[in-house]
């Protein structure tokens, strides 16, 4: 149904006529990864939404989003951290301006993260995490000829190799916008395949060589049919890598990109067929892109750890995993129901964030997590995860891998004598942290943007981001 010859860029695209994506049914439940589960996440105000998440290990993830103290009041930045056991709110920088919508985050380690957002969709704001606190770092805004800017994707391969992508509005149309970070931000020239062009996500890697891939859509205008495209940078500048021309005037766009090395990337999005969204999925092997597609729910995000270990996420929370030859659908949490925008996977943990419905219909943060067999090193980790409500937690960090069945005596806890055990003081009970003091009331409401344009997705800026059907 979706097979078609697609628009080609010589040397970059391998069209597969009539090929459908290879799928497989869930395997034996006894050996299947534990199902995704809803994890409790705090809320800071009357309305809350998480727009982006980045995980570097099973005991550290950071998520960003937006909240308001009351319905209709000014947007403020929301930061939440996973410590292996629970999610908690982390204060943002007190120097951050407002109203502020944070839209993307990327962490290279547990002591380096960058998060980006905008004030009134005109001024870019960057905050940096140093392992202890968030602080504002200088940002670079587009030229004054542009009246609005939106950043949607951010990727940090190292603490000095980051790229942020999005779009700017000027001259009556949207154009791509790219900034790179090596300790400070610099605007980079970016390609525009058509009069209208936006970038939605980016992924950078330094494994094997420096490579960044960004995905988005382009067309004559946002109101007309748009087509998916990918842009590539290897450190020598950005260029169009792939353009996808949908058949029968149907639309397509990329919404998520993930690269595990300079020889493996995956891009996911939507290919519109008869008014229904179907998955558009492309894989990079270091020399060509290959189309793999299927008439199944679309994906809004993807996260890859290797060429044989990728997960993609649908906005309704369904997750599919790629083993190098076939996609398998993973079970969705039965207590879900949120709308999800971002996915990030570490070696033993995947987390998806978005928003759900709270009391009175106000949006609240939503988080689902899972630990998959492909990411776990021992069977007992899987058994523990199956009985856990929080997934791969801090208590799993010191479990040995199968390959290292013997451990150094230095890693073993020394046994205490009988006398020591008798006189040792009892363990102190766990005491929950004191909740933060209530926030003061918002000083002002968000005035209308001069362009008359607001984001269609909470926490995201720039032109409306299409939701997967």
Asked whether the beta carbons of 193 and 202 are under 8 A apart, the reply is no
CA 60-63-66 angle, 5° bins: 160
- List CB contacts of 460: < 8 A, sequence separation 6 or more: 51, 101, 103, 150, 152, 341
The residue with tokens 């940002």 is 139
Tokens of 294: 């299927």
What is the spatial distance between Cα 321 and Cα 73, in angstroms, rounded to a whole number? 39
What is the spatial distance between Cα 467 and Cα 469, in angstroms, rounded to a whole number? 6
Which pLDDT does position 302 carry in this prediction?
94
What is the spatial distance between Cα 396 and Cα 138, in angstroms, rounded to a whole number? 38
Mean of the per-residue pLDDT values of the chain: 74
DSSP string, 42-57: ---SSEEEEEEEEEEE
- On the question of pLDDT at 224 being above 90, the answer is no
Higher-confidence residue: 267 or 295? 267
pLDDT digits (tens, 9 = 90+) for 72-103: 788 999 999 999 999 999 999 999 988 899 99
Q: Measured over all CA atoms, what is the biggest interatomic distance in the chain, rounded to whole angstroms?
A: 81
- Other Cβ atoms closer than 10 A to 389: 11
Q: What is the mean pLDDT of residues 344-362?
A: 88
pLDDT digits (tens, 9 = 90+) for 286-321: 888 887 666 567 889 999 999 999 998 887 778 888
Asked whether the beta carbons of 283 and 326 are under 8 A apart, the reply is no
Strand 327-330 and strand 23-24: pairing? Answer: parallel
Which pLDDT does position 274 carry in this prediction?
57
b/e code 229-266 from CB counts within 10 Å (16+ = b): bbbbbeeeebebbbbbebeeebbbbbbbbbbbbbbbbb
Residue 317, phi-psi category: left (phi > 0), alpha (psi -120 to 50), beta (remainder) = left
Query: Is the previous residue joined to 99 through a cis bond, with omega within 30 degrees of 0?
Result: yes
Highest mean pLDDT among 116-125, 159-168, 333-342, 379-388: 159-168
Q: 3-state class of 66 per DSSP? A: strand
Confidence of residue 338 (pLDDT cuts 50, 70, 90): confident
DSSP string, 173-209: EEEEEEEEESSSEEEE----SSSEEEEEEEEEE-SSS
- List CB contacts of 340: < 8 A, sequence separation 6 or more: 300, 301, 313, 314, 315, 316, 317, 352, 353, 354, 366, 368
**pTM recorded for the entire structure:** 0.76
Residue among 338, 436, 464, 443 nearest 68 (CA): 443
Higher-confidence residue: 274 or 371? 371
What is the spatial distance between Cα 356 and Cα 12, in angstroms, rounded to a whole number? 40
Tokens of 196: 């209208």
- Other Cβ atoms closer than 10 A to 385: 26
pLDDT digits (tens, 9 = 90+) for 134-175: 999 999 999 888 899 999 999 999 999 999 999 999 888 999
Which pLDDT does position 362 carry in this prediction?
84
What CA–CA distances, in Å, run from 58 to 347, 349, 368?
Answer: 7, 5, 14
Confidence of residue 343 (pLDDT cuts 50, 70, 90): very high
Least confident window among 77-81, 212-216, 361-365:
361-365
Q: Does domain 51-317 have CATH number 2.120.10.10?
A: yes
Highest mean pLDDT among 1-10, 11-20, 93-102, 288-297: 93-102
Tokens of 154: 């951010």
Tokens of 289: 């892109």
Q: Tell me the sheet residues that pair with 201.
A: 215
Residue 21, phi-psi category: left (phi > 0), alpha (psi -120 to 50), beta (remainder) = beta
Residue among 199, 211, 314, 195 nearest 254 (CA): 199
């Amino acid at each position: 149904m979706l097979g078609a010859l697609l628009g080609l860029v010589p040397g970059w695209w391998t069209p597969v006529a009539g090929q459908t994506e290879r799928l497989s049914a869930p395997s034996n439940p006894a050996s299947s990864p534990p199902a995704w589960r809803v994890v409790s996440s705090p809320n800071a105000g009357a309305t809350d939404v998480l727009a982006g998440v980045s995980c570097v290990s099973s005991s550290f993830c950071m998520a960003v989003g937006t909240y308001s103290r009351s319905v209709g009041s000014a947007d403020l930045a929301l930061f939440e951290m996973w410590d292996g056991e629970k999610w908690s709110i982390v204060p943002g920088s007190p120097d951050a301006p407002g109203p502020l919508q944070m839209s993307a985050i990327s962490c290279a380690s547990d002591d380096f993260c960058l998060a980006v957002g905008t004030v009134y969709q005109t001024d870019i704001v960057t905050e940096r995490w140093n392992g202890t606190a968030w602080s504002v770092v200088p940002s670079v805004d587009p030229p004054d000829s542009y009246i609005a800017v939106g950043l949607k994707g951010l990727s940090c391969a190292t603490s000095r190799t980051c790229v942020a992508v999005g779009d700017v509005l000027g001259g009556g149309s949207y154009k791509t916008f790219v900034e790179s970070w090596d300790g400070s931000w610099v605007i980079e020239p970016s390609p525009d395949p058509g009069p209208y062009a936006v970038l939605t996500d980016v992924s950078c890697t330094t494994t094997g060589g420096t490579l960044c891939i960004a995905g988005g859509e382009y067309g004559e205008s946002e109101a007309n049919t748009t087509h998916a495209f990918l842009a590539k940078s290897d450190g020598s500048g950005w260029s169009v890598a792939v353009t996808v021309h949908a058949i029968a005037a149907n639309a397509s766009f990329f919404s998520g990109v993930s690269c595990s090395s300079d020889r493996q990337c995956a891009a996911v999005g939507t290919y519109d067929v008869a008014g229904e969204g179907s998955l558009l999925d492309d894989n990079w092997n270091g020399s060509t892109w290959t189309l793999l597609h299927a008439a199944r729910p679309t994906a809004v995000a993807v996260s890859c750890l290797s060429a044989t270990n990728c997960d993609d996420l649908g906005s309704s929370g369904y997750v599919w995993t790629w083993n190098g030859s076939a996609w398998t659908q993973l079970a969705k949490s039965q207590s879900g129901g949120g709308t999800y925008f971002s996915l990030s996977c570490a070696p033993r943990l995947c987390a998806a964030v978005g928003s759900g419905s709270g009391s009175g219909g106000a949006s609240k943060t939503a988080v689902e997590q899972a630990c998959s067999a492909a990411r776990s090193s021992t069977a007992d980790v899987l058994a523990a995860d199956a009985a856990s409500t929080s997934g791969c937690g801090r208590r799993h960090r010191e479990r040995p891998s199968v390959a290292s069945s013997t451990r150094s005596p230095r890693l073993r806890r020394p046994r205490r004598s009988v006398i020591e055990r008798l006189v040792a003081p009892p363990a102190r009970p766990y005491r929950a942290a004191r909740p933060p003091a209530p926030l003061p009331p918002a000083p002002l409401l968000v005035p209308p943007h001069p362009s008359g344009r607001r984001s269609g997705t909470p926490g995201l800026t720039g032109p409306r981001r299409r939701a997967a059907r």
